[in-house]
Structure 1
Amino acid sequence: MSRGWFRKKDKKMTANPRLAHAPADHPPVKAAKIGLLVANLGTPDATDYWSMRRYLNEFLSDKRVIDFPAWKWQPLLQLIILSKRPFTSGKNYRSIWNNEANESPLMTITKQQVAKLRAAVAARYGAEVMVDFCMRYGNPSTESVVDRMVQAGCEKILFVPLYPQYAGATSATANDQFFRALMKQKRQPAVRIAPEYFDRPSYIEALAASVERVYATLPRRPDVLVASYHGMPKRYLMEGDPYHCQCQKTSRLLRERLGWEKGDIDTTFQSVFGREEWLKPYTVEHVAELAKAGKKNIAVISPAFSADCIETLEEINGEIREAFEHAGGESFTYIPCLNDDDLHIAALMDLVGDNLAGWIG
């Protein structure tokens, strides 16, 4: 370890955060720490038109999300899409908004996750590791939290995108923003990026336990479990994005852990946007086909989301449920995301522990 990691043990440093050999006008030096920074997609600050427009503009202007040339995409986005979509998106968010805390469920749940992670990290590593979170879009911004960590003395940062499966439009863009934030720091910390965790046993165990817990409360077992993942253009798969393959493997490992037969879990994709072909089958169409085929009792789980959000609380429990019931479906059960479940926190700590190896015991 470098000498800096032992500053906190120096009694002189504790009393006066200045190096013993430094001149009197030397700026204070913080005791060295390790930062654990978890990142999620983001959320609008409020549901009004301008809050929604700012959020959607940042999200839909991301070249990782929409990779059309700016000259073609930006006029359409600014003049048409952002004139209308903030109204409909705001209405959707209002239907799930946490009015008591005046924030989206994603923000509420992320705070709960981080509180539990902070407690688990403190129990394992003590005060040497600082835990915080940021959002790729909206607040708290990645740049602001990276700056806060550096100012607090974090000379090493482990960055953990909260996406079980890797995708360019999620994991990669979160990493991009993290690197952009580092570019603005005079003294850059050493950094590590935690990889995707779609096939880690602890994550699969947490998923399986959530299914078993909900199934135990139902009067009869659903005919099929639909694993609905966020979609992406099929073109991205053909260009080398591993997301589709990792989703398929997550579903297979979940089925094997549950001890189920092939056909007991269907893998589908939701949240289609635009006219381009996306990964199929589309969840909204597939659940209707299940109902028409006589499978009137289904459950839906969302393994790609670490926390419940607009895509799960509004889209799955709204549009997708309605499509199933309209086609003759009778019983629709949504299995919540892992959120701040203890097994989920344990899985994240498993990931964190592996990626802090060599930095701290």
Structure 2
Amino acid sequence: MDFLNAMGGTATGFFGALIPFLIVLTVVVFVHEMGHFLVGRWCGVGVNAFSIGFGPEIVGFNDRHGTRWKLCAIPLGGYVKFKGDANGASVPDPEAVARMSPQERATSFPTQPVSKRAAIVVAGPLANFILAVALFGGAIWVGGRYELPARIEAVLPDSAASRAGFEAGDVVTAIDGSPVRNFIDMQRTIASSADSTLTITVDRAGAERQLTATPEVYEEKTPFGRHRVGRLGLQGPKGSDAKLVRYGPVDSFVLGVRETYFVVERTFNYLGKLITGRESPDQLSGPIGIAKVSGEVARIGGVGGLVGLVALLSVSIGLLNLFPVPLLDGGHLMFYAFEAVRGKPLSERTQEIGFRVGLALVLMLMLFATWNDTIGSYLRSGT
């Protein structure tokens, strides 16, 4: 009964978060597919359909180029179907291409040079990264940032920090050679480096010192679930010491790039630890988890929070699509790389097997993420 109640609560929370979730996901998917679409058009490739969602069409229209723009019933993604594609995953349709006239064949996707096909494919993830930089940087430009100095006010006894030799009054200037500009920079680097040895440079009364410390694993409970983070045992300045710092458009853009790079770097850091067994897969989330987070962010952070979530999810979607898994953009790029080296495409049979394997992997990941967001979340709650 407890499990059913928990699942009922999950369902209620999911439907309560449905509108924020659809807004976040639709923006990210639209920008991703628009990247494919625009570069495809610039390369002279015909576009049969631009779809947000899958399944039955709810509403749509044809533009003057013959492209069908449509909104479909299952809002968990989208696709651009180019001329000569068998489906929205850009699987080639050799029979359809063979039936085309020479003029039609010249504007079909499968007959384009490898360079053009690669540019069209990579444009989707690239559009996601551009969106993230624009949102991160734009938010900083419009609202500024409240920043605390990376000054240590206190060191907790019997902590990793005390064993490393930190002292109150130390100012952290760099971690593993990367500059630390404020307390948040330091805090989130430490939080994402649990069980990893860090070389931390501090300014102590005008003298530079280097300390070596390993953040201890700590499980914290947040409104978005339980997360394992690293802790050293350092206390920073009070929140009242924070100062609003305003940035111009150029500096905001640079900070937007840094924020995007930070998400990419920490994602690879997590995946590396996941592969080596130093991190748990229970932090992987699917649509249900994203929906719950969207609702919570909308409740706590309002529009500004959702903008940040769109930027974060945009980076994640762009990065995920670059993984060399057939069916994803990275899988297509992998096939094109083989084609460029061999001087001819892989056989239709090889590509077909690759796409089937890719589909199986994607479905398995979605099933695992859904299990993680429902049953796994219930089991970890201990209720």
The bucket for the TM-score relative to the shorter chain is: under 0.3
Computing the radius of gyration from Cα coordinates, the structure with the larger value is 2
Q: TM-score, normalised by structure 2?
A: 0.23
More strand by share: 2
More helix by share: 2
Q: TM-score, normalised by structure 1?
A: 0.24
